[in-house]
Structure 1
Amino acid sequence: MTTIDSSPDTAASSSTIGRLLAADVDWLTSTDHKKIGRLFIGGGLLGLLATIAVNLLIAIERVDGDNAALDVDAWSQLLSSQRVGLVFGAALPLAAGLAIAVMPLQLGARAIAFPRLVASGFYMWFGGLVLSIVALAGNGGFSGGDADMVDLFLAAHGLMAIGFAAVGGSLVTSVLTTRAPGMTMRRVPFFSWSTMVFGLSLVLVMPVLFGTIIYLFVDHRSGAREAFDGNFGITTWAGWMFTQPTTFLVAIPALGVFAELLPATFKKRTPLRGIVFAGLSLVGVSALAGVTQQLAFDVPWRGSQLYLGGREDVKEKLYDVLPWAMFHGLPILGAGILVLMALFLAKPSKDENGDTIRPNIGAGFVFAFFGYGMILVGMHGSALEPLTDLDLAGTVFNEASLVYVVYGTALGVMGGLVHWAPKLWGRTLDMKLVAPLALLGVAGTVLASLPHYIAGFLDQPSGLGYSDSDLQIWNILVLVGHALVALSVLAFAGLLAKTVLGADDTDEGPGDDPFDGHTIEWATTSPAPTNNFADVPMITSAEPLLDKKQANAKESV
């Protein structure tokens, strides 16, 4: 049995309508990983914009904490829509889409493993998301009041869980079995390694989520609603999927983009690649928080020393401290390793001719850099929340850390799209237009999150109302932040669409290697053909294209 299926043939039609129908059928039934990935990315961008719109509604309601336009049920469903949108509507499809589209090219593979399974995963995700929206509109989300809509909400999430489990299995299998000859695991590009960790996280987490949903669905559908507290039990038993640290797993591909772009930007080889692999893998430890269904940790803290109480309480307190250190500390350590890598590569150095190596900082790197920073800030904020002496539980602090992680992931994925646009579309985005959008996006992310960090310390509840008028300014800033992020994403999507759809076939493309890449995907044509490579390349190092360029340079001398 092979892990790579053949692509179905699509009959051409001489009529315009026939050609359009044939093109639509080709996209809807395609097993080309680049098309499937772009379907995920397109859906993720739409989901991100819709979720930002929900965040804007929430922010508008919070500007005046004493006068709410929404009733309790509508407010509850709006908050449910926010969580579902951030995780399943935006972050997961964006991360999965970029991984599906790019990873096989980096491996030198002709196709992704089990492409029809990946395509099925897209339709399960998309169908589940649509059903979730219907359920939320019918008061069926967390603590929903309509029993049938709550059942639909649970079933929809079960469908999405199966879809992402299928995607995860394909990603892991691809990295393990479809690498080009000579590409050992130590030579796998950083982004492809991050997709493997991301895929393994999905394989671990999604079946646990699906099993939990089965318990909740049976309990709620049967009418007993005692074992799992009916509709109110969704947050208690499945809420771990929509909050930190489980949500760190969606950021792994974005961190992989940052790690991938560092060597190409600073024009250097990465030493000690195993340490970078370990760092990306440590972020994947957050998936174990989902496997063990850890929703929160109550870690006592007194002054500058960990408070363990009397000797009889030591064992009990360690049970709280160790999971907190593992599920929050290890991912932060893993992401922090990339800082050391960046500092090492950014160190001034000279080439063989004695000339100073000047970095080539493009718009893709700017997106990836700021996305990485936002993710790291979200991780640190999440680590503070369980410290009980800070009294952050039940405040908007948790929402802020989730927004940091998801918006940071979106920035990182947009950086990846800018970087690999030549291979996906055969075009490059205008750097002068794209780079300001990265700055706008990071400014919006900071304003949409940091004020709620502050408001969390000032005890603003996660709900709607608050009585302290001093909190109003922070909620106004959050509203402005979400608006800026919406503007950034809309402008990016518009620029991407204009570049791709408005390009004339007679125009000269950007070339096969416009960014002086190091890895094998830059050896194929732009855009990459259906089967990626005319001839499967032989890999002799972690930077095969850089080796070839240096060898050619020596021969020319």
Structure 2
Amino acid sequence: MSTIDTTSPEIAAGERFDRAPVDRVDAVGAVGQGRVGALIAALTSADHKVVGGLFVGASTLVLLATAAVGALLGAARIDGDGDLLDAGALPQLFAAHRVSLVFGVLAPLLLGVAVAVVPLQVGARALAFPRVAAFGFWAWASGLVLVVIALCNNGGPGGGDADMVDLFLAAHGLVVIGLAAAAGSVAATVLTTRAPGLRLRRLPLFTWSAMVASIGLLLMLPVLLGVLIYLFVDHRNARAAFGGNVGVGSWIAFAYTQPATYLFAVPAFGLFAELVPVTFRRRMPLRGVVYAGLTLIAVAALSAVTQQPDHAVPWAGSGLDLHGLGDKIGDLVVYALFTLLPLLGVLVVLGVAAFAAKPSGDGVRPSVTAPFVFAFFGVGMVIVGMLGGALTPITDLGLRGTVFEEGALVYVAYGTALAGLGAVVWWAPKVLGRRVPERPALGLAGLGLVATILATLPYYAA
């Protein structure tokens, strides 16, 4: 019996030829399995950088979709014949635009940044309750998808399909639960897992703003959840107490209007205050005053806690006489507490920032970076929205219920989004391990400012 010499070059080459395709297939399969495994690991991770990145990435996608819906609605307003969109679809499109702005972009974007960054700033190894934060993202994301499905099928405020209205209310509650879970994790991280020696009065300004905003959300969101539960139970049964599908919008309006929406923008001002000393290369003076200013902005949460979307100043036709003076003073006090006090907080933060940026004659030149430009533009747009929100309750101006009120919301939302993108650029080296190129980021900041003005200024001009 003859034997085969396996050391023969021809045989060895043949074996290599026969095995090579199998080896390549195995390698490709291993790479594919590795990528799938990495994706599954990322989607199920409780790491604060991953969870925060999921919040930021998903809310950025929602921002793009919301901008497209807003452009479509703007084109429908310009269209005089009304042929561009079906009149029956307009209420649901408006509801989708507002829900996406507030709970798809405004609330989760900077909350996601806080989830990723706050543990790094306080010296913690991880978030407090990391699984709760991960659950918060998936609850928010799945709830938002269900909200969109309900709105696309004639659900939501004023919707004609009863089952879809029920789905909208239940899904909206899931969105609220998810955001509350993430906010609770951020607040607990700041309060309980700080590095030894890091007292609250020494916190970084962004972390302080994230903590204040998270506590405000924990006060506001349970109120909204309770209202949604009441609406759901009533709509599933008698529909006698809250006006059925028609009353849904009015009962949850307090969470979608100014000044409650200012609460979501508090971390934008914290980011701006943190970047000012870095940009102008000097220590931030009066840090305690800045803490107080950021906290005053968060007073806007009281508007949602008390379910008061309308702090009107109804002085129309009364002139300067003393008739009903007590009522006038009462209206003014409530208006000042809920609407003007957050503006006072903004003025405090800007005043200290201007003092820090004042030229000192020491020859040190400021270093303006893309994150600061993003934050500066974003805060500026938010302030324009807050000024519009301060004018809206004045009855004599007749702005309540007009597109001007919607414009104030869009200014606040898009301004917060600009600041959120600046936060991503600023902390990308620590969170992502890579630096965002400066020139493209500056161009994106300028483009974002122009897009925000084009999307919002027509509301004010109209």
- Local SS of the residue matching 1:286: helix
Q: Which residue of 29, 38, 51 maps to 2:44?
A: 29
Q: Counterpart of 2:281 in structure 1: which amino acid?
A: K
Structure 1 position 296 matched with structure 2 position 310: yes
Residue 348 of structure 1 aligns with which residue?
359
Q: Is 1:110 matched up with 2:121?
A: no
Partner of 1:405 in structure 2?
412
Q: Which has the larger displacement, 14-23 or 277-286?
A: 14-23
What residue is the counterpart of 1:249 in the other structure? 263
Matched, 1:285 2:292: no
Which of residues 94, 111, 136 in structure 2 aligns to 1:121?
136
Determine the C-alpha separation between the residues in 1 that align with 2:387 and 2:273: 20
Partner of 2:16: none
- The corresponding residue for 2:21 is none
Greater shift, 381-390 or 68-77, is seen at 68-77
Match 2:343 to one of 332, 348, 361? 332
Tell me by how many angstroms 1:69 deviates. Answer: 3.0
Q: Which has the higher helix share?
A: 2
Pairing of 1:450-465 with structure 2 (within 5 A): 450-455=457-462
**Structure 1 range deviating more: 124-133 or 91-100:** 91-100
Structure 1 pair 278–308 and aligned structure 2 pair: CA distance change class (3 A): farther
Query: Which residue does 1:460 correspond to in 2?
Result: none
Aligned partner of 1:119: which letter? Answer: A
Deviation at 1:93, TM superposition (A): 1.5
Structure 1 residues 151-190: aligned runs within 5 Å: 151-190=166-205
Residues 129-153 of structure 1: CA distance to partner in whole angstroms, max 9, x if unpaired?
0000100000102111110000000
Kindly tell me: are residues 194 and 15 of structure 1, through their superposed partners in 2, closer, same or farther at Cα, counting changes over 3 Å?
same
Shift of 1:14: 9.4
How far does the alpha carbon of each residue in 1:379-424 deviate from its partner, in whole angstroms, 9 at most, with x for none? Answer: 0100100100001112100110001000000000111111111001
Q: Greater relative contact order (Cα 8 A, min sep 6): structure 1 or 2?
A: 1
1:79-94 mapped onto 2 (5 Å cutoff): 79-94=94-109
2:352 is equivalent to residue 322 of structure 1: no
Q: In terms of mean alpha carbon deviation, does 261-270 or 438-447 score higher?
A: 438-447
Tell me which structure has the larger Cα radius of gyration.
2
Name the SS of the counterpart of 1:55 in structure 2: helix
Aligned counterparts of 1:347 and 1:14: Cα–Cα separation in 2 = 61
Give aligned-pair identity as a percent: 54
Q: CA RMSD for the aligned pairs? A: 1.7
Q: In the TM superposition, what is the alpha-carbon distance from 1:162 to its structure 2 partner?
A: 1.0
Q: Secondary structure, in 3 states, of the residue corresponding to 2:89? A: helix
Residue 72 (structure 1) shift: 3.2
Instruction: Give the secondary structure class of the aligned counterpart of 2:175.
Output: helix
CA shift digits 1:156-210 (9 cap, x unpaired): 0111111111111111111111111111111000000010011011100110000
- Separation (CA, whole Å) in 2 of partners of 1:307 and 1:32: 60
Is structure 2 residue 441 aligned with structure 1 residue 429? Answer: no
Partner of 1:372: 379
Post-superposition shift, 1:301?
4.4
Residues 10-63 of structure 1 show CA distances to partners (whole Å, capped at 9, x for unaligned) of xxx992233122212211221110110000001000110110011011011011
Hey, what does 2:148 align to over in structure 1? Answer: 133
| Shift in CA distance, 444/195, structure 1 to aligned 2, threshold 3 Å | same
Q: What CA distance in whole angstroms lies between the structure 2 residues aligned with 1:42 and 1:124?
A: 15
Contact 2:121 2:207 in 1 (8 A): yes
In structure 2, what residue type is equivalent to 1:155? A
Structure 2 Cα separation of the partners of residues 83 and 149 of structure 1: 18
| Displacement of 1:309 | 5.7
CA distance in 2: counterparts of 1:422 and 1:307, whole angstroms: 59
User: 1: CA distance between counterparts of 2:332 and 2:338?
Assistant: 10
- The answer on 1:216 being equivalent to 2:223 is no
C-alpha contact 1:300 1:308 (8 A) present in aligned 2: no
Aligned residue number for residue 448 of structure 1: 455
Q: Secondary structure at the match of 2:252?
A: helix
Aligned partner of 2:363: which letter?
T
- Aligned pair in 2 of structure 1 residues 325, 308: CA closer, same or farther (>3 Å)? farther
Structure 1 distance, partners of 2:326, 2:166, is: 41
Q: Is 1:275–2:289 an aligned residue pair?
A: yes
Residue of structure 1 equivalent to 2:20? none
Secondary structure at the residue paired with 1:216? Answer: helix
- Alignment of 1:391 with 2:402, yes or no, is no
Q: Which residue of structure 2 lines up, in the alignment, with residue 458 of structure 1?
A: none
Letter in 2 for 1:186: R
Q: Residue 245 of structure 1 aligns to which amino acid in structure 2? A: P
- Matches of residues 193-204 of structure 1 in structure 2 within 5 Å? 193-204=208-219
> Where in structure 1 are there 5+ consecutive unaligned residues?
1-12, 456-557
> Aligned partners of 2:321, 2:298: CA distance in 1, in Å?
32
2: distance between equivalents of 1:315 and 1:215?
A: 35
Q: Deviations over 1:217-259 (max 9, x none)?
A: 111111x212100011111111111111111111111111111
Q: Does the Cα contact within 8 Å between 2:122 and 2:203 map onto a contact in 1?
A: yes
Deviation at 1:300, TM superposition (A): 3.0
SS for the counterpart of 2:284 is coil
C-alpha distance after superposition, 1:481-539 (max 9, x if no partner): xxxxxxxxxxxxxxxxxxxxxxxxxxxxxxxxxxxxxxxxxxxxxxxxxxxxxxxxxxx
Residue 32 of structure 2, aligned match among 9, 17, 22 = 17
- Following superposition, the deviation at residue 71 of structure 1 comes to 3.2
Tell me if the contact between 1:244 and 1:402 (Cα under 8 Å) persists in the aligned partners: yes
Q: Distance in 1 between matches of 2:407 and 2:214?
A: 26
Give the TM-score of the pair, scaled to structure 2: 0.91
* Amino acid in the other structure paired with 2:325: V
1:451-501 Cα shifts (integer Å, max 9, x gaps): 21121xxxxxxxxxxxxxxxxxxxxxxxxxxxxxxxxxxxxxxxxxxxxxx
